[in-house]
Amino acid sequence: METNYKEAFEELQQIVEEIETGEISVDELSLKVKRAASLLKICKEKLSSTEEDVNQILKELDEE
């Protein structure tokens, strides 16, 4: 199942909170950082895709 932007963002917030409060062990930290990097990539791709869609719609509106 593909992670949507909202889910990825919420999970990122949870990871940051766990790191800030020291709720994760050093052993888990590496896994959390790798997961955070993956989630950031998902968010970036979704934002980029949305920006492209909006730009295309605006271009089509300008042509009318």
pLDDT tens digit string along 19-32? 899 888 888 999 99
Q: Where are the domains of the chain?
A: 5-63
3-state secondary structure of 61: helix
Q: What is the CA radius of gyration of the chain?
A: 17
What would the pLDDT profile of 44-61 be if each residue is shown by its tens digit?
Answer: 999 999 999 999 999 999
What is the pLDDT, as a whole number, of residue 64? 77
Whole-model pTM above 0.95? no
Contact 3, 43 (CB under 8 A): no
Contact 8, 43 (CB under 8 A): yes
